Amino acid sequence: MDDVKTPSREERKSALSGLGTSRKRVEDARFTQGKGNYVDDIKLKGMLFGDFVRSPVAHARVKNIDTSAALALPGVHAVLTAADLEPLGLHWMPTLAGDKQMVLADGKVLFQGQEVAFVVGDDRYAVADGVSLVEVEYEELAVVTDPFKAELKDAPILREDIADQKEGAHGARRHPNHIFTWEAGEKEETNKVLEEAEVVADEMVYYHRTHPCPLETCGCVASMDKVNGKLTVWGTFQAPHAVRTVASLISSIPEHNIRIISPDIGGGFGNKVGVYPGYVCSIVASIVTGVPIKWVEDRMDNLMATAFARDYWMHGKISATKEGKITGLWCHTTADHGAFDACADPTKFPAGFMNICTGSYDIPVAYLAVDGVYTNKAPGGVAYRCSFRVTEASYFIERMIEVLAQKLGMDSAELRSKNFIKKEQFPYTSALGWEYDSGDYHQAWEKAMKSVNYKQLREDQAKQLQLFKDGKSRKLIGIGLSHFTEIVGAGPVKNCDILGLGMFDACEIRIHPTGSAIARLGTISQGQGHATTFAQILASEIGIPASDITLEEGDTDTAPYGLGTYGSRSTPVAGAATAMAGRKIRAKAQMIAAYLLEVHDDDLEWDVDRFSVKGAPEKFKTMKEIAFASYNQAIPGVEPGLEAVSYYDPPNMTYPNGAYVVVMEIDVDTGVSDIKQVYALDDCGTRINPMIIEGQVHGGLTEALAISMGQEIAYDEQGNVMTGTLMDFFIPTAWETPNYETDYTETPSPHHPIGAKGVGESPNVGGVSAFSNAVHDAFKPFGLTQAHMPHDHWRVWKIAKDLGLHS
Amino acid sequence: MEKINVTMTVNGKEETLSAEPRTLLVHALREHLDYTGAHIGCSSSHCGACTIDMNGKSVKSCTVFAPQAEGAEILTVEGIGSPDRLHAIQEMFKEHHGLQCGYCTPGMIMRSYRFLQENPNPTEEEVRFGISGNLCRCTGYQNIVKSIMAAASKIRDEANVEKKEIA
């Protein structure tokens, strides 16, 4: 028997592919073979298609809708308008932000691309024919696209439905186009500090409107089974359980008769959190026609109508001593929400977590006010690859730090270092009220500065500047720094809910007799690789190899309730639930093992994949043996089977952070930037799968590159969308995208069961500031303090021109 | 609109469908013939999610009419390997984390398939240019490029082994 070697502890551990392993993804087999199952792949018997007639104008009264020519087409089955939805009470729907939104134009349209009528037909082609034949008579109204003009006395009133309401979902409204004022911090004290300060930097920082633009657009297939009274909707839903509850509340279909399924999702990035008119119309159309209805946006619909992001005008003042110790921060934000307030934020936070805008710095006093306004633009305000308004907050403080450094004549790396929250200050309560869980910012910063050889970079930059000044080169070098602190993992039920639903999450585990398992979660992967990583968490907790654990998400009939995947909440919340459910399994397994080994529970200790008797490791029961015993032994006082569920209400958010450096060379005459180096150090606490973390960082950095260097949703003064196709809306190709250097420090979250903080959104949060700061840095020697993003070639060329750098 | 018959060879199998002449090839493949590997991301030739191989060339099937494929040899991601024997490109995308949400992947793999026949020994820069008609929102391309470089090397090695075996 010599050839049967007892595996060592390390070998047993490695066989699990648990925490910290760069386990290959289990999702990839189907995706690489074209066997993914996305919404548009779903084909049901008798299924019809639906699509919208959309408004060509930004603000108009709808005088008449004539559907007769469309209905006369043989392939068209129905055309829905607001008049058809009104008897059902579905011509308007609630938004996630406590506002309401027209499902189909009810008397007027408020943005270009707004849904006016829903045409149902045999296939996409018949529907397209029908859409083109619906005659809508519009009477155009004056348009407001500038949020600073929305509250003028003579501004056209956009939302006539609530024009007289002085109170909105978030307090007092001072103008018909005003949505809310949200404040945090100490107003008077901050003003006093600013008045008395030795140095104050004052700047308007604009984070432009953009769009998450996942490669797969939004869509659904709604199927009302009238025989069983059950509605099933397959859709691109980042929060399937919340969609079920909302669908039940607005349709009056009992919640147990609604099944929401998120199949494979082709990227989300926040775009697929909200509820869109397409879902409501598909459901109604399925009820009306009695057959399944498929609705899938095209790219232009997606960019024009569903879920923009950002559009924050952030006016900031930051004060410091002459030596560079920050003494106070003030911010007033004008938030352009478009025609309906459809932000996807926790209810109590109409400006999301914008009050994380003190960033990584120990700022004694701060004040923030955010005013939301209506304009003739698409609704949304989603968290595009970030937690709620966290990129906006991070961009704001990282620009203000740069502007302050410029005013102080100090290197901004040094200014950051001087003001970082110190390691020993954690848990740290910020001036705007958050309790940062853990971090070691100085360690991260020093590692970053050393890794990029910061001193050398500055010397090279100075040499290049001299060449430029001497007329020997037309290129400048910019070094962009950023240190960000995110706030993710929403969140504690005590202060985080969406439409009253607490933002906990859940995991349910069932161990099979032969020792393999299935786990189901309330989240839904959109490319993050949950089936791979959550199995790793479990493998380490319950000693069953990750490859023996199936992971399922997205079907509300089978998965436990959870609030879904966005705002980097999957690992902090559902990941914690997974670990806690695993611990429940282990606790029961310990009782079973004690019975089998005829010892007391306390005489056992956990050892990777087994319980062994303390002091006698040769006496043990593996999880596989315990699993089988749970099905075939009558154990006194212990129920058969081995299952557990955990609903996890996190005690706090998590605070991932990191230090990023971007180096770029800018051609002053063309505005073209050549990215020379991107270094990203992330601290996401405990690292579950380094390979996936690295992939997330690469992807998030590329979205940051896109946003900062060219991507925007732009409108002209008439409210026409100027960037409605991928010809105009910038998505970097492999050719424009640089290679990235990734790095890390590891400061576990003290309150998370495995110490993990989440990482998917960090690179976008830290990246946008780093890219933008690099552009600013290149022109700093010529007096540039602030130039708004995106820094596309034309805008960069314009910076150079305005600074007099063109001959 | 009057329907017409279109016959093409898809992954080695002759297929005939009856569709309106305006039917796009991507819809013909996905909806008439159930090859759902090719995806639709933009319907305007920008994103490349619908890339397939048609008569030995990479084609964005969202901007080709089905009748233009009459008599054509079509290869989709479903046809380049099998569950038991993946194509080297499929294998290397798995190995090097060259995909996340998977939506661009079939197009990306099909473009790589053709590109590596056009250029079996590419530089990283050539790979980046070669796949610049295909957008990915998740990976930042770094691991896609790595996957394609690894696949190129694997395909070359396999070809060398075959040559030796023949010799």
Sign of the CA dihedral running A89, A90, A96, A101: negative
Would you state the pLDDT for residue A3? 55
Q: Which of A173, A259, A310, A385 is catalytic?
A: A385
Contact A33 B86 (CB under 8 A): yes
Contact predicate A103/A268, CB 8 Å = no
Question: What pLDDT is attached to residue A1?
Answer: 44
Cα B141 to Cα B147: distance, rounded to the nearest angstrom: 10
**Is B115's Cβ below 8 Å from some Cβ in A?**
no
The answer to whether the Cβ–Cβ distance between A38 and B39 falls below 8 Å is yes
Return all residues near A190 (Cβ < 8 A) that are at least 6 apart: A328, A329, A330, A365, A366, A367
What are the structure tokens assigned to A623, written together? Answer: 């999880």
Nearest CA in chain A to B102: A31
Residues of B in contact with A733 (CB under 8 A): 131-135, 141
Closest residue of A to B142, CA-based?
A739
Residues A120-151: tens digit of each pLDDT: 999 999 999 999 999 999 999 999 999 999 99
pLDDT of residue A344: 87
Provide the shortest C-alpha distance from residue A123 to chain B (in Å).
10
Q: Is A123 on the interface with B (CB under 8 A)?
A: yes
Contact flag A699-B105 (C-beta cutoff 8 Å): no
For an interface test with B, give the residue of A22, A23, A25, A28 to mutate (most B CBs within 10 A): A28
Predicted local distance difference test score (pLDDT) of residue B98:
98
Nearest to A299 among B35, B42, B128 (CB): B42
Q: Do B31 and A694 touch (CB under 8 A)?
A: no
Class of the CATH-defined domain B4-79: alpha beta
Beta partners for A643?
A510
Residues A589 and A541: their CA atoms lie apart, in Å, by 12
Is the ipTM beyond the 0.95 threshold?
yes
* pLDDT of the residue at A6: 84
Contact of A737 with chain B, judged by CB distance below 8 Å, is answered with yes
Residue of A nearest to B37 (CA): A34
Question: In chain B, which segments carry CATH 1.10.150.120?
Answer: 88-162
Residue with tokens 């639906």: A50
The residue type at B111: R
Q: At what angle do helices A390-408 and A762-779 cross, to 10 degrees?
A: 30
In chain B, residues under CATH classification 3.10.20.30 are 4-79
Burial profile A274-293: b = 16 or more Cβ within 10 angstroms, e = fewer: bbbbbbbbbbbbbbbbebbb
Band the pLDDT of B86: cuts 50, 70, 90: very high
Are B103 and A702 within 8 A, CB to CB? no
DSSP element (H, E) containing B159: helix B142-166
Closest CB to A299: pick one of B41, B78, B100.
B41
Q: What is the rounded distance in angstroms from the CA atom of residue A374 to the CA atom of residue A377? A: 8
The partner residue sitting opposite B36, judged by closest CB among A41, A265, A725, is: A41
Q: For residue range B20-69, what is the model confidence (pLDDT) as tens digits?
A: 999 999 999 999 999 999 999 999 999 999 999 999 999 999 999 999 99
Nearest CA in chain A to B104: A215
Asked if A108 and A60 touch (Cβ cutoff 8 Å), the reply is yes
Partner-chain residue, chosen from A41, A298, A699, that has the shortest CB–CB distance to B139:
A699
Q: Is A761 a catalytic residue?
A: yes
The CATH fold of domain B88-162 = DNA polymerase; domain 1 (1.10.150)
Taking only residues 656 to 695 of chain A, the set having a beta carbon closer than 8 angstroms to any beta carbon of chain B reads: 691-692, 694-695
Query: Going from the N-terminus, what domains does chain A have, and what CATH number goes with each?
Result: 9-29+505-648 (3.30.365.10), 47-141+217-265+273-305 (3.90.1170.50), 308-490+653-802 (3.30.365.10)
Q: Where are the alpha helices (DSSP H) in A209-328?
A: 240-251, 277-289, 299-305
Q: Do A36 and B1 touch (CB under 8 A)?
A: no
DSSP state of A196: H
> Rounded to an integer, what distance in angstroms lies between the CA atom of residue A315 and that of residue A769?
16
Residue numbers in chain A where pLDDT is lower than 50: 1-2
Question: If you measure CA to CA, which chain A residue comes closest to B45?
Answer: A726
Average pLDDT of span B100-110: 98
> Quick check: A725 contacting B, CB < 8 Å?
yes
User: Which candidate from A31, A41, A700 shows the least CB-CB separation from B99?
Assistant: A31
- Which chain B residues touch A33 with a CB distance below 8 Å? 37, 77-78, 81, 83, 86, 90
Chain A CB within 8 Å of residue B3 CB? no
Judging contacts by C-beta atoms under 8 Å, the chain A residues touching residue B32 are none
Q: Nearest C-alpha of chain B: how many angstroms from A196? A: 47
What CA–CA distance (Å, rounded) separates A273 from A565? Answer: 8
Q: Give mean pLDDT, residues B70-74.
A: 98
Spell out which residues of chain A touch residue B127, defining contact as CB-CB under 8 Å.
734
Distance CA(A429)–CA(A440), nearest Å, equals 15
Position B18 scores a pLDDT of 97
φ, ψ of residue A470 in degrees (nearest 5): -85, 0
Q: How far is A273 from chain B (nearest CA, A)?
A: 16
A47, A132, A215: which to substitute to probe chain B, counting the most B Cβ within 10 Å? A215
Cα–Cα dist A220/A592, whole Å: 46
Which residues of chain A make contact with B128, given a CB cutoff of 8 A? Answer: 734-735, 737
Q: Does B123 touch chain A (CB under 8 A)?
A: no
Inter-chain residue contact A735 with B129, CB threshold 8 Å: yes
Residue A238 designated active-site:
yes
Which pTM does this prediction carry?
Answer: 0.97
A214 near B CB under 8 A: yes
